[in-house]
Amino acid sequence: MNSATPAPSGTPDVIVVGGGIGGLGTAFALTRQGLRVRVLERAEEFGEVGAGIQLAPNCTRVLDEYGLLDEAKSLGVLPENMVMRDALDGRELTRLDLRDLERRYGFPYLVIHRSDLHGLFLRACRAAGVELLTDRTVVAYEHTDGGARVRLADGRTEEAPLVVAADGLHSVARRQLVGDDVVSSGYVAYRAAVPIDAVRGNSVAEKDVTVHVGPRCHFVQYALRGGVMFNQVAVFESPKAVAGQEDWGTPDELDAAFDATCDTVREGIPLMWRDRWWQMLDRDPVETWVHGRVALLGDAAHPPLQSMAQGAVMAIEDGWVLARHASPGGPDWDAVLASYEAVRVEHCRRVQSTARAWGELWHLDGERRLRRNEVLRERDVHDYGFTDWVYGRTALTPDEEPAMFTPIPLSPTPA
């Protein structure tokens, strides 16, 4: 489906580079503020690949403000619980009651197919009058007296008072303006979204989000599209990656990584897509996202590992915060960008760091795995000390950012 709008005329207020979820969410948010926004997408058509995505209350709150939550709910699933199990023996370790979670934060926990969420924002942008342009590959960023300019692969240029680089993990803007590199975790993810009937004999929990955590691997399952589809994600440490080999994360490693897991997990592994896999990459946090009138956003600014399921959520929040600071009627972009950077950098640094630590916790082996299981089983189901800092209302200023949780040590306290 080619959903690009006609060729642009005039100079927009904002150019957004990248037509993914973060880019479209930002374009829609800024357009709601009365700004003229142009989106430049490198592909010939707008689209999104992948399978399921989880949207915590800090995101569904934003969707509700946008008037998009009801449509999102109609496209997705509202699970009842989030359950963590040991991948080896299948025993429950802890859970979140997601109905109680909704009462606490005021908005639901939603799971949705990534392409459905992308389509939701695409339709919203089109209806709001965003210029949606495809086959525009941005290869460089330049500063101007009144803003910023992007240079396209075909030699053309476009400029605006503000350029938002929402061009993903392998961002051209990040490479040019920061110059760092991605960080490999040595883990790889396989995904699959299959008809629900394909898994009904595997003792799956259709109404829950379930994550099985095991030594150097984890396995996530939940229903999609009103319960007619089932999403699975298998993540494991690649021995070939650890050994420094180029060809890592291959299907033979997938099978070996989950060979000793419980029946529910092992029965799900043959259903994984085997023609594609995703290396688990992030970047070290950086404190500077704003370079003149070019602002990094989403994975270009703060790509996390997936263990907290906050990657797309943070990108949507970025756009909401940026737009809330951009008052209609000719924003002071320097002030807007200073406010955006002041609040979002620290929050996203916390999420990136916690995602790394959370992944380490999930993948423990030996005595530390047993101690982790013991600590998790002792947790009260209604203890929200580990979620209040991230699932609450998105902060607009640094003073609104809540305090972090206090980590629980895995080593027993000496008597």
Query: Cα–Cα distance between 16 and 8 in angstroms, integer?
Result: 14
Contact by Cβ (8 Å): 366, 316 = no
Query: Cα–Cα distance between 209 and 196 in angstroms, integer?
Result: 14
Which residue is catalytic, options 190, 222, 340, 391?
222
**Residue 236 CA, distance from chain mean position:** 19
Query: Cα–Cα distance between 12 and 40 in angstroms, integer?
Result: 12
Q: Does the annotation count 340 as an active-site position?
A: no
Query: Cα–Cα distance between 76 and 117 in angstroms, integer?
Result: 9
Q: Given strand 229-237, what is the order of strands in its sheet?
A: 92-97, 81-86, 208-214, 217-224, 229-237, 183-195, 278-282
Contact by Cβ (8 Å): 396, 325 = yes
**Residue 23 CA, distance from chain mean position:** 13
Residue positions annotated with a catalytic role: 222
